[in-house]
């Protein structure tokens, strides 16, 4: 069933040195237009506004996840429960797990209420090149791959290798995002962690001797979230992006006469988006529209697009929405007065992360990390590690209020001082 | 004249760790829309088809050149000939030296016969934000910056810091391109080289004790050219890109009824491109058109755009054009016969590099690297270094013939075998 | 007072790239025989038995501490409270803070009840080359340097730069030991931490924006302690080393006729060690004796020396001394019975670390890390950081019982099985 | 025959990340006292006087050579000519190739006219633990291993993997010495080179596609020789070391009454050194004697030992011995006059390296690097690479005259000025 390439193909990779492809199936998947499209979707969306180095694509990351999975499987290859189809299933799922990501996923999904995981399923199961390649294994193979990515597969072992608290996806993105941003936080000893991982029944467990390496990985994740992923400058650019998409939607509904009509968005406005439509919406296309819309008559759309393309971002203050409700409402009034629609120019944004959590009945399932003790017992990580225990289950939330400080600075002093005085007290 | 920022600004950079901005002038230049546009132009064009890590932008590189210049100036700051305006001039020129680069410069300039250096001059001197910021120093400052970049400035010392065989531009791109591709070839000891550089009259010279560090830099440059910059897979994608642009131009001239007309290209077709038009042509816009043109009726345009977006590149054989003229002509005949227009599907491409050269009267001026000997004499690098001498002035050229192996494989055997037999003998 | 070198001297350093020496004072201190002796004392004692890469000396580390101090001072140089003598004081103390370390300090001090800090004071204040060089600044300068290292100086700011929870010493050894061992745990962003440190009255505080970088440093420290510094294999070799020294002392007291008498140790046996005697006792000399003593008649000394030189270490089991008192006593009996003196062949060893602690009245003073908030207030780190709070003040202790598994394996089965059965239950 | 360990053992290594040991044979060899002794012999002798980071041992390097060999063999493992005994032979030879190195080999061998390669043979074939372990494979196995290291083995393929112009030994030491010194010169892409190496008959050849990676390796070697291995400060310390050994030999012959007699050297003075004697002479022992001899009455021995331990090295001038014969003779006269015996205080030292050479009949055999072209032909590297051709067969020699500038500075002006005036003209 599995056809080996006559000669192994390699990709030079700055994170894993080389990425090795040995199966025709994987090589063909990489060559599909749906996978190549990931070159035009950035891994970290607007993060490069904050960390200019982070311009890498989801294509780049997807190859990395595949490579970590390949190494993990190589370590497991002498385990009896493992067969060649499991191997192909794990590798394909690793490579394709992000195939449904659209442009600037976070903002896009929020505004249009779509879900990249649903698109992943549709692309794998639909009339696509990816589906065609996967069917060469056998007719049900696409379904099996989709089930692994969706976490509904009966093969819980493979599922946990790609979606758990210590999976190929997370391990690659921490290392890769740290490499491209240039921060040191995301570093951990991948090789050591791969060496201490063991398949055991339905899950991958970690030998207790590797506990400190796993602690280090959990701390890397914690640091990357607060230092990189939730950086307020990045969030500011996402606020603007969301506002652009929202404005376009509103204008479209109102029958606004666009100079450059949002052709690529029409099917999503009417809830009739096909796979083909979706696949065409990459970040280049979005940038094209933003550039054109800088010349629209609508001052809000024009201003927001100008801000996004030229990095004229919103400023922010820390502020808890519940405690500051009166102030926020006062600001909204003042914004209206000053001619700035607060629906577009004043935004409360909250980020929160749960760096590590143990499964609790009734909650969304998160597979906890199990340590394999010398005596053969399993113990959940946070019960053994003080450091992990200290952050386990603690949801940290960070609230910020975003506003256009540059525009406010140009307002008439009467109103400007009122606005600034409220902001300063926050 | 020079206004210091109240607090130094820093950018986290994976190559230089941090980039430090201390002057309001430089901070304002970075914020201009013309400089921010460089985020949408990749440093290495289509190289990421070969090295997937190389997705970094010219914005990224330009900050790096600025930072190297800043460090070099800090080392020179105790030298008497140096004043604060020289400093701002050097920093501005370093930051802006690539401001005129368009999308996929190499192919774009070849097809449309434009020159990014000319555009750099126009952007700095024209009605732009960059010009406006520079004029705050004084009215002639934009001209002085342009003159440094154009190498016509009377300030030969600053000019040589940005355009010589060992300048801030080259040192940054070697290190940066090596970092993002993941190859080891571009490494050299930047800190050591900066330590041994000395301003001396009109030029920067290198203390003889640093000769081996400079040798290492020259060899890095040589290796990067052949391993990365001239990689045949990258060249193949550039061939396709050029053919797309050529085809669009031809179709436009022929009055072809585009579904998506090439609006952004019209002024360049009529030789009437303004600065504003030029600045809008970034790589996102190009990708937008390529995607739309995948659905054009014209089979050549549609096929080439499909190839580019989905990385269905041309194959190649090494072949010297003069020695193989008969074969190439025979192939052209067969291509016509097979319905493949050889103007678009058969391309001879040659790359050549002169890794290091000494100035020779009458030739284009290249400032050679001068070593400052212990006795105060200057000696030209290649006269002291065997290794540099071995590659000095030797233009190495590499010729390859590109063709669509995938399409040929689907042709009728009669003609396919003829084509393949000629290609195999090459 | 401070004489600059006519040309800056540099040392190539793998951790800090270059170490820069600009003052004649520092250059002369590096050249003293007492400082050069540190080349023959390893930074991590017997750790290279576990991590073969960790063969670096205290000379190596001392230069690194100096360099971090130099960079920190450069950042502070525009601060008004700072003068040139403070600078020299800080640099000298940084360079010399480990000058009193003897060979394999940990074991040596335990057996001979000496203290490297006391030796540091004696070397700086006594009739030494170091003292002579320091007196060139002024007659009291040696005392001032010693006071900084002893933490009795009135200059609390300089003291805290070299001895606090985030000082030049710790920052260098974490980075350096991580580099030489090859583990990734010790990494943190030194440049960022140096940027956010601010002198403030008697101490150095950290800007709140740098809190996560400091968290990362604290976690590095925590990981290095458990992964590297307290590694049980290293501790096993230290157990053997201590036993050798103990045995020599006992034999000497008993008037044992050594083939190679312990000349270099005689003054310490009689509590009459001079500075000169102490300085001669480096790790080379210790190795010389160990090698000679492999041929002594005394079977214990001979065996222990053989074990140390050839890395025939003791095995270990985890075991809490209080809970296992009966077992340990039973083992002691059995060891005597088997002809293995338990004073030399059975050792309970405990390691513990307090990764971060806040000052509490009455306890040994540890300067806590203060964060400088935006509003100018100071807040103690663990009150702001969950992660640091989780490990703050928690003393973790790890107990292990060491024994010669290889010798036991050769014993008569009757007694061997008894011993092994007790060990297995632990 | 080959016994696998029940669980793979790993060593953390900063250069190769991990070193993997899978065979009991190799594990046992590492545990022998002869191999453990290599911990007390530095890889780069006195180089740490110049590059303080370079304190790593031959133990460290030997593990690295073994690991490169292991990876190379893994790549070759599907090749038909390869069997398990070949594998053990290659791994054992890689691990043991430096087992015969004594302390400060270069100087030691010059003064005592011994040869570490001869000692390697004796240790492998003699009554040693290494021999004992090797004989477990079969009685002739020690001889086979020795033959591979001596290049007299019939198994030319394995021989070339450890001794050729691109072998496991050289690849490890370049990378490792670069890592520990902190210089960037020794970097090259090991993984790529291992991928393009192919066993072919009696030798290992390199696929032509890897030519540039091999060029880069050759250039690294060239740079490391001149930047690190032949650094004049290192050579100065070797000069002093040789003079110490020479002085001891002379004093011993003259019946000088040593306070600390050179016991460990006596058998070598009388040409009666046994393997056991040789193995005891490690660098710790040498340091012990040097320290004791600082207190001898003989002023030359005392001074030289003091110089070595405290890094009071000789200064140098570049000078060609043949061109400067008269000056050197004049200096010798003046040195006598000043009471400095020129046999110990004036030394002409020449270093030369042949960075790459093609085999020429009649000369010492150096296996050149063969490129495997696409058409199956072999071509010698320098015939294809300009860069390698430029340094091929070119022996570069560097002559320096060493002298005690510090002592000269204290001489009576009459003679001092004469000496200095000659030195200045050189």
Q: To the nearest whole angstrom, how far is the Cα of D70 from the nearest Cα of chain B?
A: 23
- pLDDT for residue C185: 85
Tokens of A303: 């201003």
Taking each helix axis from N to C terminus, what angle separates B84-96 and B141-150, rounded to the nearest 10 degrees? 60
Strand partners, A399: A350
Angle (CA) D30 D33 D35, round 5°: 45
Note the pLDDT tens digit of each residue in B112-162. Answer: 989 999 999 999 999 999 999 999 999 999 999 999 999 999 999 999 999
Query: What value does the mean pLDDT of chain B take?
Result: 92
Q: At residue D355, does pLDDT exceed 70?
A: no
Q: Which residue from C216, C269, C276, C278 is spatially nearest to C245, judged by alpha carbons?
A: C269
Q: Which residue from C183, C222, C387 is facing A391, i.e. has the nearest CB? A: C387
**Residue B364 DSSP class:** P
Question: Which residues touch D414 (CB under 8 Å, ≥6 apart)?
Answer: none
Q: Which residue from C10, C18, C191 is facing B17, i.e. has the nearest CB? A: C191
Burial degree of B405 (CB within 10 A; 0-12, 13-18, 19+): middle
Q: Which residue of A has its CA nearest to B49?
A: A39
Q: At residue D171, does pLDDT exceed 80?
A: yes
Q: Does B409 touch chain C (CB under 8 A)?
A: no
**B219/D212 Cβ within 8 A:** no
Q: Which residue of C has its CA nearest to A221?
A: C216
- pLDDT for residue C96: 98
**How far is residue C198's CA from residue C372's CA, in Å, rounded to a whole number?**
9
Which DSSP string corresponds to C85-112?
A: HHHHHHHHHHHHTTTT--TTHHHHHHHH
Q: Which residue of B has its CA nearest to D183?
A: B189
Tokens of C302: 């001979």
Q: Which residues on chain B are in Cβ contact (under 8 Å) with D223?
A: 212, 215-216
**How far is residue C346's CA from residue A124's CA, in Å, rounded to a whole number?**
63
Note the pLDDT tens digit of each residue in A59-109. Answer: 999 999 999 999 999 988 777 667 889 999 999 999 999 999 999 988 899
**B223/D215 Cβ within 8 A:** yes
Taking each helix axis from N to C terminus, what angle separates A232-253 and A299-310, rounded to the nearest 10 degrees? 150
Q: Are strands A203-207 and A370-372 parallel, antiparallel or unpaired?
A: parallel
Q: At residue D81, does pLDDT exceed 70?
A: no
Could you give the residue ranges of the DSSP H alpha helices within A225-339? 232-253, 266-269, 275-280, 283-293, 299-310, 325-337
Note the pLDDT tens digit of each residue in A120-158. Answer: 999 999 999 999 999 999 999 999 999 999 999 999 999
Q: Does D109 touch chain B (CB under 8 A)?
A: no
Note the pLDDT tens digit of each residue in B331-341. Answer: 999 999 999 99
**C183/A189 Cβ within 8 A:** yes
- pLDDT for residue C357: 64
Q: Which long-range contacts (CB under 8 A, 24 or more apart) does D209-212 make?
A: D211/D371, D211/D381, D211/D384, D211/D385, D212/B185, D212/B223, D212/B226, D212/B227
Q: Which residues on chain C are in Cβ contact (under 8 Å) with A188?
A: 184
What Rg, from alpha-carbon coordinates, does chain C have?
24
Angle (CA) C237 C238 C243, round 5°: 100
**Residue D362 DSSP class:** T
Taking each helix axis from N to C terminus, what angle separates B283-293 and B299-310, rounded to the nearest 10 degrees? 130
More confident residue, C275 or D398: C275
Lowest-confidence range among A269-283, B197-211, B345-359?
B345-359
Q: Does D409 touch chain A (CB under 8 A)?
A: no
- pLDDT for residue B386: 80
**How far is residue A156's CA from residue C389's CA, in Å, rounded to a whole number?**
36
Q: At residue D84, does pLDDT exceed 80?
A: yes
The backbone torsions φ and ψ at residue C410, rounded to the nearest 5 degrees and listed phi first, read -100, 0
- pLDDT for residue D149: 96
- pLDDT for residue D80: 63
Note the pLDDT tens digit of each residue in B287-326. Answer: 999 999 999 999 999 999 999 999 999 999 998 888 889 9
- pLDDT for residue D359: 47
Q: Which residue from B189, B222, B226 is facing D184, i.e. has the nearest CB? A: B189
Q: Does C85 touch chain D (CB under 8 A)?
A: no
**D191/A17 Cβ within 8 A:** yes
For chain A, list the domains and their CATH numbers: 4-229 (1.10.3210.10), 232-351+398-425 (1.20.1250.30)
Q: Which helix (H) or strand (E) holds A131?
A: helix A129-135
Q: Could you tell me how many CB contacts below 8 A there are between chain A and chain D?
A: 8
Q: To the nearest whole angstrom, how far is the Cα of D40 from the nearest Cα of chain A?
A: 29
Can you give the pTM of this predicted structure?
0.94
CB B320, CB B409: distance < 8 Å: no
Note the pLDDT tens digit of each residue in D29-59. Answer: 999 999 999 999 999 999 999 999 999 999 9
**D386/B212 Cβ within 8 A:** no
- pLDDT for residue D366: 61
Please give the average per-residue pLDDT across A324-352, as a whole number.
94
**How far is residue D312's CA from residue D327's CA, in Å, rounded to a whole number?**
25
**How far is residue C157's CA from residue A421's CA, in Å, rounded to a whole number?**
38
Note the pLDDT tens digit of each residue in A380-410. Answer: 998 888 888 877 777 778 899 999 999 999 9
ipTM: 0.94
**A389/C391 Cβ within 8 A:** no
Q: To the nearest whole angstrom, how far is the Cα of B117 from the nearest Cα of chain A?
A: 23
Q: Which residues of chain C have pLDDT under 50?
A: 359-363
Q: At residue A364, does pLDDT exceed 60?
A: no
**How far is residue A103's CA from residue A109's CA, in Å, rounded to a whole number?**
9
Q: Does A276 touch chain B (CB under 8 A)?
A: no
Q: Is C151 left (phi over 0), alpha (psi -120 to 50) or beta?
A: left
- pLDDT for residue A360: 45
Question: Which residues touch B255 (CB under 8 Å, ≥6 apart)?
Answer: none
The backbone torsions φ and ψ at residue C223, rounded to the nearest 5 degrees and listed phi first, read -65, -45
- pLDDT for residue B365: 54
E strands, C24-85, are none
- pLDDT for residue B59: 98
Q: Which percentage of chain B shows pLDDT scores above 70?
A: 96
SS3 of A372-408: the string is ECCCCCEEEHHHHCHHHHHHECCCEEEEEEEECHHHH
End-to-end CA distance of chain A: 64
Q: Which residue from C327, C314, C333 is spatially nearest to C409, judged by alpha carbons?
A: C314
Q: Which percentage of chain B shows pLDDT scores above 90?
A: 77
Q: Which residues on chain B are in Cβ contact (under 8 Å) with D222?
A: 387
Q: Which residues on chain D are in Cβ contact (under 8 Å) with B387?
A: 219, 222, 387, 390-391
- pLDDT for residue B234: 95
């Amino acid at each position: 069933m599995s056809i080996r390439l006559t000669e192994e193909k390699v990709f030079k990779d700055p994170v894993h040195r080389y990425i090795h492809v040995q199966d025709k199936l994987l090589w063909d998947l990489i060559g599909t237009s749906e996978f190549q499209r990931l070159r035009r979707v950035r891994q970290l969306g607007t993060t490069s506004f904050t960390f200019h180095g982070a311009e890498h694509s989801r294509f780049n990351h997807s190859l990395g996840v595949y490579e970590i999975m390949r190494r993990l499987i190589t370590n497991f290859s002498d385990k009896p429960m493992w067969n060649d189809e499991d191997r192909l299933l794990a590798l394909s799922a690793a490579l394709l797990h992000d195939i449904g990501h659209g442009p600037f996923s976070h903002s896009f999904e929020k505004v249009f209420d779509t879900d990249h995981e649903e698109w992943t399923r549709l692309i794998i199961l639909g009339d696509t090149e990816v589906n065609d390649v996967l069917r060469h294994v056998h007719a049900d193979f696409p379904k099996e791959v989709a089930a692994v990515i969706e976490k509904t597969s009966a093969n819980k072992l493979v599922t946990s290798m790609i979606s758990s608290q210590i999976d190929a996806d997370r391990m690659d993105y921490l290392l890769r995002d740290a490499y491209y941003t240039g921060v040191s936080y995301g570093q951990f000893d991948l090789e050591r962690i791969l060496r201490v991982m063991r398949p055991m029944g339905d899950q991958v467990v970690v030998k207790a001797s590797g506990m400190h390496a796993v602690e280090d990985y959990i701390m890397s994740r914690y640091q990357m979230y607060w230092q990189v992923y939730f950086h307020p400058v990045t969030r500011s650019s996402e606020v603007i992006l969301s506002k652009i998409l929202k404005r376009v939607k509103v204008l479209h509904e109102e029958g606004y006469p666009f100079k450059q009509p949002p052709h690529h968005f029409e099917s999503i406005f009417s809830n009739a988006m096909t796979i083909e439509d979706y696949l065409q919406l990459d970040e280049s296309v979005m940038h094209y529209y933003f550039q054109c819309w800088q010349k629209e008559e609508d001052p809000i759309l024009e201003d927001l697009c100008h801000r996004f393309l030229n990095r004229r971002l919103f400023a922010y203050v820390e502020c808890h929405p519940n405690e500051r409700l009166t102030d926020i409402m006062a600001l909204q009034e003042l914004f209206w007065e000053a001619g700035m629609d607060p629906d577009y120019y004043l935004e409360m944004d909250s980020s929160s992360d749960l760096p590590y959590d143990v499964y609790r009945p009734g909650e969304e399932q998160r597979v906890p990390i199990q340590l394999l003790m010398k005596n053969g017992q399993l113990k959940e990580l946070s019960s053994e590690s003080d450091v992990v225990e200290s952050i386990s289950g603690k949801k940290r939330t960070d609230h910020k209020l975003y506003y256009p400080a540059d525009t406010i600075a140009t307002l008439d002093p009467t109103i400007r001082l009122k606005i600034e005085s409220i902001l300063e007290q926050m």
